[in-house]
Every structure is written in structure tokens, then in C-alpha cells.
């Protein structure tokens, strides 16, 4: 079953601000990165999925259900971690997460048990009996994650979980999200404006810009055909570009570097011969580990 399906989804605020426009996307199970700049419409999509907002046009289905008509059913099966602070400072994490578990429908004993178990899973041990107000930002983020996870949802919606964390905290949070997706077996949609950060843990990516879908694909399909050789030579890039293009290779210039799509081992020979024939000095011939960010940049420049 698809996690989230949208069809020409549109959300306008007050008739003037368009947060989402004609968004059609299908998000499949796994760890899905939802990327886009601030204000691209990521949070709006999340809130529409939960039925916290009503779409002004189009359709959205979450876990095969309509979040507006079957809101209760959707919200019972989904966990949500908001972007901003959402914790009361004057209760303990254990007390707070237990309460949230009960609001999700867990009986009192189960709520208590799951709360302490979940807090342990996110890395809060004895601290969980202390007031949340005294926690560091990293610990607060963990409590926010725990309250989203406590009722064992099928789908976890995380809105910028690394917000406000230092590099070490970001790494720890992403590792945790990765574990939730892989070991716990819960599908995760994680929003971020930092593509480089979440591409490591995701199985697929959805990029939106200005409320429109930029690209959506599984990470393997994005990187599959993307082995690229980087060539750097002293002068004569133009000649080399011509020659390689003439030899039937796809060549792209990026300042002084030529990017050539790799089609098997022959490509290396062709490049070697071309460089030798043109009598150029070769500085670098390197297989480029593809950054997903480049793919998105490509996509943008083509558009």
C-alpha cells in the first residue's frame, strides 16, 4: 500500500499564498526523504496528510484512507513529529509521553510501558523522570520523536527532525531515523531542506519546489545510471569535448571539468585514446560518486 498518494493537490492560504499547486505524487513504503527549500510546501503536505489542514483542491490519500473523512483511522496509524517546539516544560518526559500514548488510545498500563520503552529506544534513560524544561535541544528532539512513536504507528511523519541540532546531534538523530525505518519496520517520511543530509538514510526521495513536484524516485533508480567519470586536463577541454562527443559519449562541461557518462569499460579506453591523440596532459580521471544533489540540480537546469 502506498503511504501517501496525492492527485492535483492544491492548498492556498487566504486565497493569495499558494503553498501547494497541482501536486501529484505517490510515496511508497520505506524511508522517504521529502526535500525542498524552506517554504517549498513540505510542512503543508504533512499537515494535509494528517487532516490538520483541508486541501483547497485535488485529492490526498494516506495509507489508502482519506485524512478528512477517515481522519480518526489515519491519525491512529500515523505518528507526527512537528517542526517546532511542542513540549510542556513542567512535566517529565515519562509523564508526557505516557499521556500522549493514552490520547492515542493505548490503555493506561500499556501506555506507561510503551512510553518508557520508546524513550529508551530514542536514547533517554534516567533523564526521563526529569522535567522537560531542563532538557537540551537534542533531548527535546528525542522526546518529540518518542511521542510520535509511542503508539507504534505504521507511518511516521517527521518534520525537520534535525532542526536546531549540532552536527553530532544531527548524525545521531538520522541514525535513529534509519533504525526506525530498518529495524523497527516503520515507514518514515522525513522532511528536510538539507538534501545531502538525508540522502544517506533514505530509500527514496521526493523533491518539491514552490509547491510543485520537482522529482520523485527511489534512490537506487536515481543513482543507477549515474556513474560518471570526471576528467580534468590542462587546456584543450574544448577539443576533448568535441572528440569525445564525436566518439558517441555524453559529455557535460562543469567549468574546467568534463563529466562523461560511463558506459562500461570501453569508455575508459575511448577517453585514454582521445587524450593521447590530442596530446593533452591528463590531470585527473576519476569515477564520480554521484551526489543526489547533482541530479536535482540537473533537473532544475533542464527545466
> Cα–Cα distance between 77 and 156 in angstroms, integer?
9
Strands (E), the chain: 4-13, 17-27, 31-35, 57-62, 78-81, 155-159, 187-192, 204-209, 212-218, 228-233, 251-254, 257-261, 282-288
Decide if residue 131 touches other proteins (CB under 8 A).
yes
From the list 7, 95, 232, 247, which residue makes contact with other proteins (rule: CB under 8 A)? 95
Decide if residue 99 touches other proteins (CB under 8 A).
yes
What number of CA atoms fall less than 13 Å from residue 219's CA on the CB side? 20
Residue 97: CB minimum distance to other proteins, A: 11
Scanning 101-109, 196-204, 212-220, 281-289 for contacts with other proteins by CB under 8 A, the matching segment is 101-109
Scanning 24-32, 95-103, 207-215, 251-259 for contacts with other proteins by CB under 8 A, the matching segment is 95-103
Scanning 34-42, 178-186, 261-269, 277-285 for contacts with other proteins by CB under 8 A, the matching segment is 178-186
CA 31 to chain centre: 8
Length of the chain in terms of residues written: 303
Scanning 98-106, 230-238, 267-275, 288-296 for contacts with other proteins by CB under 8 A, the matching segment is 98-106
Q: Between 43 and 192, whose beta carbon lies closer to other proteins?
A: 43
Decide if residue 115 touches other proteins (CB under 8 A).
no
Please check whether residue 208 is in contact with residue 216, taking contact to mean a CB–CB distance below 8 angstroms. Answer: no
Residue pointed to by grid coordinates 547533482: 294
From the list 17, 37, 86, 276, which residue makes contact with other proteins (rule: CB under 8 A)? 86
Q: Per-residue x/- marks for other proteins, 31-60, CB under 8 A?
A: ----------------x--x-x--------
Scanning 182-190, 194-202, 204-212, 223-231 for contacts with other proteins by CB under 8 A, the matching segment is 182-190
Decide if residue 88 touches other proteins (CB under 8 A).
yes
Q: Between 184 and 300, whose beta carbon lies closer to other proteins?
A: 184
> Cα–Cα distance between 147 and 145 in angstroms, integer?
6
3-class DSSP state for residue 23?
Answer: strand
- Count Cβ atoms within 10 A of the Cβ of residue 270 and give its class: 0-12 exposed, 13-18 middle, 19 or more buried: middle
3-class DSSP state for residue 67?
Answer: coil
Interface with other proteins (CB under 8 A): 47, 50, 52, 71-72, 75-76, 78, 80, 82, 84-91, 95, 99-100, 102-107, 110, 114, 117, 121, 131, 147, 151-152, 183-185
Amino acid at each position: 500500500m502506498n503511504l501517501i498518494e496525492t492527485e492535483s493537490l492544491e492548498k492556498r492560504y487566504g486565497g493569495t499564498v499558494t503553498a501547494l499547486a497541482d501536486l501529484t505524487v505517490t510515496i511508497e513504503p520505506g524511508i522517504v526523504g521529502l526535500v525542498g527549500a524552506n517554504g517549498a510546501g513540505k510542512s503543508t503536505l504533512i499537515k494535509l496528510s494528517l487532516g490538520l489542514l483541508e486541501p483547497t483542491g485535488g485529492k490526498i490519500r494516506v495509507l489508502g484512507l482519506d485524512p478528512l473523512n477517515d481522519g480518526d483511522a489515519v491519525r491512529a496509524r500515523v505518528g507526527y513529529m512537528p517542526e517546532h517546539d511542542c513540549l510542556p516544560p513542567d512535566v517529565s518526559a515519562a509523564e508526557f509521553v505516557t499521556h500522549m500514548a493514552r490520547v492515542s488510545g493505548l490503555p493506561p498500563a500499556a501506555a506507561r510501558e510503551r512510553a518508557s520503552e520508546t524513550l529508551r529506544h530514542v536514547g533517554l534513560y534516567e533523564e526521563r523522570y526529569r522535567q522537560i524544561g531542563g532538557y537540551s535541544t537534542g533531548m527535546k528532539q528525542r522526546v518529540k520523536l518518542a511521542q510520535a512513536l509511542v503508539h507504534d504507528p505504521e507511518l511516521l511523519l517527521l518534520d525537520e527532525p534535525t532542526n536546531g541540532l549540532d552536527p553530532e546531534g544531527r548524525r545521531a538523530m538520522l541514525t535513529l531515523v534509519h533504525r526506525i525505518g530498518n529495524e523497527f519496520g516503520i515507514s518514515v517520511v522525513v522532511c528536510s531542506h538539507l538534501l545531502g543530509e538525508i540522502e544517506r538514510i533514505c530509500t527514496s526521495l521526493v523533491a518539491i519546489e514552490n509547491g510543485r513536484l520537482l522529482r520523485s524516485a527511489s534512490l537506487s533508480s536515481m543513482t543507477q545510471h549515474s556513474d560518471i567519470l570526471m576528467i580534468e586536463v590542462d587546456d584543450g577541454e574544448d577539443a576533448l569535448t568535441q572528440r569525445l562527443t564525436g566518439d558517441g559519449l555524453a559529455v557535460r562541461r562543469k567549468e574546467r571539468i568534463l563529466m562523461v557518462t560511463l558506459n562500461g569499460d570501453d569508455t575508459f579506453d575511448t577517453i585514454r585514446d582521445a587524450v593521447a591523440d590530442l596530446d593533452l596532459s591528463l590531470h585527473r580521471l576519476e569515477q564520480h560518486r554521484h551526489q543526489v544533489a547533482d541530479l536535482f540540480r540537473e533537473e532544475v537546469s533542464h527545466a
